[in-house]
Amino acid sequence: MARKTHRKRSHFNWVQSEDPSLSHQDIMDSANTLEFDPKEHQHLRYNPLRDSWVLVSAHRMKRPWQGQVEKPPEDDIPRHDPSNPLCPGSTRANGEVNPDYDSTFLFENDFPALQQDAPDPGSEHHPLFQTKAARGVCKVMCFHPWSDVTLPLMQLNEVRKVVDKWADLIEELGASYPWVQIFENKGAMMGCSNPHPHCQVWASSFLPNEPGLAERSQRDFLQKHGEPMLVQYARLEAQRKERVVVDNDDWLAVVPYWATWPFQTLLLPRRHVLRLPDLTAQERDSLASIMKRLLTKYDNLFEISFPYSMGWHGAPTGSYLTEDMSHWQLHAHYYPPLLRSATVRKFMVGYEMLAQEQRDLTPEQAADRLRSLPEEHCKLGEKKDDAGLD
């Protein structure tokens, strides 16, 4: 009997492997005597925006990595490459020549996923073979004329111009379309084919899946709890601080409690704001500042140009502009794939594709690592060292 009691104080997995004759109840009793540690014990976390659960298994970070190793991002990108179709003065695939722009530059995507004049596919009445019309426009927006800079390396006033252009696009395209998706794929690892600072803007005649989920979840939360979900969430995260990476008077960036990607962040205004055009001049200034700080920390984590996909979610537009959308809160998602180093990424395969999302370190661990990094960009430090400056 003493031998069995001793085993119940041991780790759950050790009990199971040491004596397979133990009953399921014995094993569960053993697990219940342990003190839960989120860094050591797997658990589920709820994502209220997607109404789904994430499996957190931080102890898996101890396993040796023998999987795929990525090629580090290029570090010698020329400032101007005439063969790069995003550079000033370059000729694009459709034969058009870019102007010699010196700030942001917007143009129609030469290979758009959505077109305004697509024909209607017609109706299909069978529930297993449904189709709907899909129309829209796709644009490309360059942030800067130089190919060798990214948002964290741009001047603050240059980042502010990006923010203003984003807001203008939501207002302009949102007058006609119910959803305007601004997104940036940064780095070849995220499918970016042109090493030049830019984003894409897709306006669609329909509400896509992810915003549709966020729409339902935020509406339900407000009805049940009397406060917009992400307004309450931002206030609670600001109080708890353990997942805050950077913040200022108007914004905070956190590794969300339900994060899936290793160093995923959620950028939130402190004030209740529905859409980018609703931001005040002060909030736009502070948004440019916090974006630059957050992305500098990303680059400093592994001292590379950190890959990610990011995008803005705000209240739907078009016909929704006349509806009560007070359940919405403006926010931006950052989804970086890197996990252990500049060359080891997180893969969403197998269990994640067939069962549910899973992550290998806790959001609190990820936030602590990012928070502890300097806010001076590693490249700027290198330039000082090369110049012999302190």
Radius of gyration over alpha carbons of the chain, in Å? 24
CB-facing half-sphere around the CA of 96: CA atoms within 13 A: 10
The backbone torsions φ and ψ at residue 145, rounded to the nearest 5 degrees and listed phi first, read: -75, -20
The answer on whether 185 is annotated among ligand-binding residues is: yes
Per-residue pLDDT at 1: 41
Amino acid identity, position 383: K
The answer on whether 93 is annotated among ligand-binding residues is: yes
Report whether 331 contacts 193 (CB < 8 A). Answer: no
The answer on whether 193 is annotated among ligand-binding residues is: yes
By 3-state DSSP, what share of the chain in percent is helix, strand and coil, each rounded to 5? 35, 20, 45
The answer on whether 109 is annotated among ligand-binding residues is: yes
Q: Which two tokens stand for residue 171?
A: 């207002």
* Angle, vertex CA 166, rays to CA 170 and CA 180, nearest 5: 35
Which of the following is catalytic: 144, 198, 327, 377?
A: 198
Per-residue pLDDT at 15: 40
Report whether 184 contacts 311 (CB < 8 A). Answer: yes
The answer on whether 347 is annotated among ligand-binding residues is: yes
Per-residue pLDDT at 206: 97
Task: For 290-333, write each residue's pLDDT tens digit.
Answer: 999 999 999 999 999 999 999 999 999 999 999 999 999 999 99
Residue 201 to residue 143: CA distance in whole angstroms: 13
The answer on whether 199 is annotated among ligand-binding residues is: no
Per-residue pLDDT at 245: 98
Task: Specify the pTM.
Answer: 0.88
Per-residue pLDDT at 241: 98
Residue with tokens 């023998």: 66
Q: Which two tokens stand for residue 54?
A: 């994430």
β-pairing verdict for 136-142 and 198-204: antiparallel
Q: Which residues of the chain have a pLDDT value below 50?
A: 1-18, 65-66, 389-390
Q: For residue 181, list its beta bridge partners.
A: 202
Report whether 179 contacts 206 (CB < 8 A). Answer: yes
Residue 274 to residue 162: CA distance in whole angstroms: 19
Residue 257 to residue 243: CA distance in whole angstroms: 7
The answer on whether 76 is annotated among ligand-binding residues is: no
The answer on whether 113 is annotated among ligand-binding residues is: no
43 is catalytic: no
The answer on whether 192 is annotated among ligand-binding residues is: yes
Strands (E), the chain: 43-47, 52-56, 105-108, 136-142, 179-186, 198-204, 244-247, 251-254, 265-269, 308-313, 331-335, 338-341, 344-345, 357-359
